[in-house]
Amino acid sequence: MANETNPLLSIQGISASVEEKQILHNVNLDVAPGEVHVLMGPNGAGKSTMGHVAMGEPTYTVDSGKIIFDGQDITDLTPDKRSRAGLFLSFQAPVEVPGVPLTSFLRAITTGREGLDMKRKEFRKRIRSLADELDMDRAYLDRELGVGFSGGEKKKVEMLQLLLLQPKLAILDETDSGLDVDALSVVSHGMKLYQETCNGTLLIITHNTRILEHLSVDRVHVMVKGRIVAEGDASMIADIDQNGFEQFEQAAANAE
């Protein structure tokens, strides 16, 4: 059960829009420390938007509501400040950054972070061991970020950053989409490691229940057309697996 009194992430009445088109409608969502939450819903429901709004993507305008993270109102913070406050977003489609070797990028994002600003040798060792842990060829560390990486390799790089930055809370946006079985098991392994080593808190965005098989889920939120239309415990997953989202779509229609 969610810890009602002291959530780590608290999304309070968020409505958000892009180019004057409203996408999120009064979304409320609390995640307590150490818990695993799942945000589910059909394609185009606004789940990814929710993740990006939590991270502060400037494309979206927050029209009302606020986002409290670790006791701090982060609604007006830029994404880099949210990151340094301990929030992490794994991208569904990570960008490519030609000209920047992965290692240089990883060093830049750890620099100046308390407890992570390690000595160079230590840093090298750390990222190598993480690469090994994630079954990632070390050669990727010297390649330009994302350039020529397969979908699976891109997701591994996201997991590597998750484990390197050890955030307080990670939002995983469709991390499982488009992965083959091997990549999927690596990603699952990464999530498990994050929980074990950092006492991690997870908000998993997905429309597919497969990635949840090896996780102990605390709470499920269902989003349809930009609204949270149902919430419940892990048993909802099996229900959705069998019956799909149609049962919730009527609820969404009623809410409009």
Interacting residues toward another protein by CB under 8 A: 55-59, 78-80, 82-84, 88-89, 91, 94-95, 97-101, 103-105, 107-109, 111, 113, 120-121, 124-125, 128, 142, 144, 161, 165
Query: Smaller CB distance to another protein: residue 198 or 255?
Result: 198
Question: Is residue 222 within 8 Å of residue 228, measured between CB atoms?
Answer: yes
Long-range interactions of 150-156: CB distance < 8 A, separation 24+: 151/178, 151/179, 151/183, 152/179, 152/180, 152/182, 152/183, 152/186, 154/93, 154/94, 155/90, 155/94, 155/179, 155/183, 155/187, 156/183, 156/186, 156/187, 156/190
Query: Smaller CB distance to another protein: residue 68 or 100?
Result: 100
As measured in angstroms, the least distance from the Cβ of 125 to another protein is 8
Query: Smaller CB distance to another protein: residue 144 or 249?
Result: 144
Query: Smaller CB distance to another protein: residue 24 or 222?
Result: 24
As measured in angstroms, the least distance from the Cβ of 201 to another protein is 17
Please enumerate in sequence order all residues whose Cβ is within 8 A of that of 223, keeping only pairs 6 or more positions apart, or say none: 27, 39, 40, 41, 45, 46, 47, 50, 229
How many whole angstroms separate alpha carbon 90 and alpha carbon 94?
8
Query: Smaller CB distance to another protein: residue 28 or 59?
Result: 59
What does the DSSP 8-state code read for residue 26?
E
As measured in angstroms, the least distance from the Cβ of 101 to another protein is 5
As measured in angstroms, the least distance from the Cβ of 161 to another protein is 6
As measured in angstroms, the least distance from the Cβ of 193 to another protein is 19
Query: Smaller CB distance to another protein: residue 53 or 229?
Result: 53
How many whole angstroms separate alpha carbon 188 and alpha carbon 194?
10
As measured in angstroms, the least distance from the Cβ of 57 to another protein is 5
Residue type, 177: S
